[in-house]
Chains A and B, each alone.
Chain A
């Protein structure tokens, strides 16, 4: 069975989709696009689509990943076109490769997040970030399904910087200047999410943005040990399968 790895974005107003919403939308899009998805056996067969670490409801992303098992070999580039054309605008397919050896989830070691804070004060943000980075641990509390949970939000944060841009909401309304946090966060258990870092900033320096932040995951992937930068997790597949450039011989699937 060929497996295809897909990078997709959830953008703008569709960032309010939950993980379940996305999986329904993807299943329908796969059918619409005529992708020969494989099904599990049994009484209620499920399409073989698996998801790696989905961004929370309300958080936008440029780097979400899923994997589709297909019954007949497909050309990644055509799957990309077909799937993208079948998803609603806002769920956009960015890259498709044929899976090589090794699991995808293991490669998603860190995330690069952008957190926009419309109306926040830049100086206060900088002070808070400085304090946060200076601390060795910052214990935060989050309400989980199993009740409140305390954990350290500091260790996972590899990088945290403040910059400034303009307020760009999903409605594309041009607005006021806006403080932007960029953070590179290692995936750990329990997961440290951007809102946990924001909680940390509030705890260390009383920094609280006036309106809900707009969070976007810009990238996910392995950490390049030499450069300290984020690498494309699909590069490894591309190297081993030449996926995306030339497809394997055999049947082609049209979008």
Chain B
């Protein structure tokens, strides 16, 4: 069945919208495969604007891997802005892919990548524009399988009604496996329709199909039990972990956008996972264990990526990049290689130590020493113990002093507000810290040209972390503490002018909290918000707290119950049947230790402390050093 491009219809609308280039595709290294000769067709969506979605590595990697498979085709689709949405509705143009402008509904699978929960309403817009029923139960055999992945998919319950399936963890291998299941089922003539396809996916234990699980509730609203409603569907669904990242050196052909995007660089993940054990960090908990890419693979990926893309900036990505066992050699090797080529290097690292500065110095060899970022996260020593971020005030002052003395003029400090057990003075402690930072900088440099920016976000307790049981702070408390902090900073005659302050008010965090730890009943809120016009919730100019609260009331959902309520140890959590490998008892114990002040080390360097991941998942820590060097560069 030929599927036609909708481009000629879209084209007439493009002169009327903002930044039309984001809708036309045609990026360097994008792929358009022949529709008719493909057996399995994926539409991959990043549910945010093109400028945010295009640089997303998860989608880029899956796009490339799936397109490399013979018989499989993958195209990309992004959220359209309200201006184009309105025109598309008026003209009856469906949600389309940017590669070949095919209607999304014609694909076999619609894979949606959620790095944040704030993309949920955008998924509903896309489904609706595509002509796919919002509720999975209403979909027929002609509709694609709507499949979620990415970090937020570790608790897909709030969007369970809208999803056919979800995948936890690394997508490389499982997306290939899903393709194969779909191919077989189609080749056999689609026996049993959509239901059987979902059944085949669910039986494998690697794909979560929400509708095969029933949720029962206690009269007080807590979950009683989540249980499969069919034989052969496993009680728990497990996450996927790619071992040996050297075998998966993607992206090999980086997408190079024409439109301006938020990240204009070639990024290489230098490792996955993080075992530092910061208790607030979902990303660290769900991506265990640490798996490094070797220095030689990193060297080759960077060389290839720069050549293929023409980007003039290389980013070394990971959750804590400075922790790579051979990062010093990587940094020196790359800095040597690109010396004098106008190719700059960046390493998103927030470690509070001198080693981090050495790395930053290496990376800024050719350029300006503008700003360095550190993340103490908590304002007081006590607070940092609670979150297991083991940085002393001494460490911080020593580190920033070194930074200022080596020519850095600006230091950015990241914090969170609303952490468990937090008191007003913990947040006010941030002001003291910032002042001490400026003082140290002025003392060492003898200059007043020293700046420090405090950046603070509201803490949201996340599933699969020790804080999954914690009460989220209400937005009044957060706002009150932020205001006190601001006043303390601004009011300071001696240092106030040298300190910048960036913060968000507490309300969006409450909505994020509702979506993060919500269960299936929260789906009605998402739907009501979307129906009343909610879109692009990650953008402050589109986000409306009042709309979310009104929708919650309409749906009979008590937001406080989901957010500011502390959970008991034995309460069934909405995601308990979804296995990130973490031992629930270990998480609970860690939560208790957080409150009493116990610390955990990083199991990368110290003995295993039985978080449960490796034995459950059959994984192991993979780190260097390999002792090898970056390959010498062949062409500059």
Interface residues of A (CB under 8 A from B): 13-14, 16-18, 20-21, 24-25, 27-32, 34, 39, 43-45, 47, 57-58, 86-90, 169-171, 173, 175, 211-212
Contact = CB atoms under 8 A, between A and B. Distances in A.
A21 B311 contact: no
Nearest to B13: A212
Nearest to B16: A212
Contacts of A20: 260
Given A21-B259, A34-B635, A88-B258, A16 B14 contact: yes
A13 B256 contact: no
A211 B368 CA distance: 50
Q: Which 7 A-B pairs have the closest CB atoms?
A: A28-B310, A32-B310, A13-B24, A171-B7, A16-B20, A31-B310, A171-B8
Nearest to A170: B11
A88 B8 contact: no
Contacts of B258: 14, 17, 21, 24-25, 88
Nearest to B366: A45
Contact of B309 (A13, A32, A43, A87): A32
Given A27-B310, A31-B312, A34-B635, A170 B7 contact: yes
Interface in B1-41: 5, 7-8, 11-12, 14-16, 19-21, 23-28
B28 A88 contact: yes
Contacts of A29: 310
Given A28-B256, A171-B8, 12 more contacts: A13-B26, A14-B26, A16-B14, A16-B24, A21-B259, A28-B28, A30-B310, A31-B310, A34-B635, A57-B21, A88-B26, A90-B26
Contacts of A16: 14, 20-21, 23-24
Given A30-B310, A45-B342, A88-B28, A21 B8 contact: no
Contacts of B367: 43-44
A21 B24 contact: no
17 contacts: A16-B21, A17-B21, A21-B21, A24-B264, A25-B258, A27-B312, A29-B310, A34-B635, A58-B14, A87-B28, A88-B26, A169-B11, A171-B7, A171-B8, A171-B101, A212-B12, A212-B16
Nearest to B5: A171
Nearest to B24: A13
B24 A14 contact: yes
Contacts of B89: none
B448 interface: no
B542 interface: no
B307 interface: yes
Contacts of B26: 13-14, 88-90
A45 B341 CA distance: 11
B23 to A, nearest CB: 8
B257 to A, nearest CB: 9
Residue with the highest number of chain A CB atoms closer than 10 Å, among B28, B367, B368:
B28
Nearest to B17: A16
Contacts of A13: 7, 11, 24-26
A179 to B, nearest CB: 16
Residue with the highest number of chain A CB atoms closer than 10 Å, among B11, B14, B25:
B11
A94 B628 CA distance: 46
Given A27-B312, A32-B307, A18 B21 contact: yes
Interface of B: 5, 7-8, 11-12, 14-16, 19-21, 23-28, 101, 256, 258-260, 264, 306-312, 342, 367-368, 635
B440 to A, nearest CB: 26
Nearest to B258: A21
Nearest to A169: B8
A58 B8 contact: no
A253 to B, nearest CB: 12
Residue with the highest number of chain B CB atoms closer than 10 Å, among A16, A30, A88, A173:
A16
Contacts of B256: 25, 28, 88
Contacts of B11: 13, 169-171
Contacts of A175: 8
Contact of B8 (A86, A173, A212): A173
A28 B311 contact: yes
Contacts of A31: 306, 310, 312
A13 B312 CA distance: 26
Contacts of A88: 26-28, 256, 258
Nearest to B101: A171
A158 B101 CA distance: 39
Contacts of B27: 88
A16 B8 CA distance: 14
A17 B21 CA distance: 5
Contacts of B24: 13-14, 16
A58 B7 CA distance: 14
A86 B256 CA distance: 11
A133 B109 CA distance: 57
A34 B23 CA distance: 30
Contact of A43 (B23, B264, B368): B368
A24 B14 contact: no
Nearest to B15: A212
Contacts of A173: 8
B579 to A, nearest CB: 43
A175 B11 CA distance: 14
Nearest to B306: A31
Contact of A211 (B5, B12, B260): B12
A45 B259 CA distance: 22
Residue with the highest number of chain B CB atoms closer than 10 Å, among A169, A171, A211:
A171
Contacts of B311: 28
Given A43-B368, A212-B12, A28 B21 contact: no
B20 to A, nearest CB: 4
A145 B16 CA distance: 17
B20 A58 contact: yes
A28 B15 contact: no
A57 B264 CA distance: 21
A153 to B, nearest CB: 19
B26 to A, nearest CB: 6
B312 A57 contact: no
B218 to A, nearest CB: 55
Residue with the highest number of chain A CB atoms closer than 10 Å, among B23, B24, B311:
B24
A39 B309 contact: no
A102 B306 CA distance: 36
B342 A24 contact: no
A212 B14 CA distance: 9
Contacts of A17: 21, 258
A135 to B, nearest CB: 27
Contacts of B259: 21
A170 B11 CA distance: 8
A105 B285 CA distance: 59
Residue with the highest number of chain A CB atoms closer than 10 Å, among B19, B256, B310:
B310
B266 to A, nearest CB: 10
B260 A21 contact: yes
Contacts of B101: 171
Contacts of A212: 12, 15-16
A169 B20 CA distance: 16
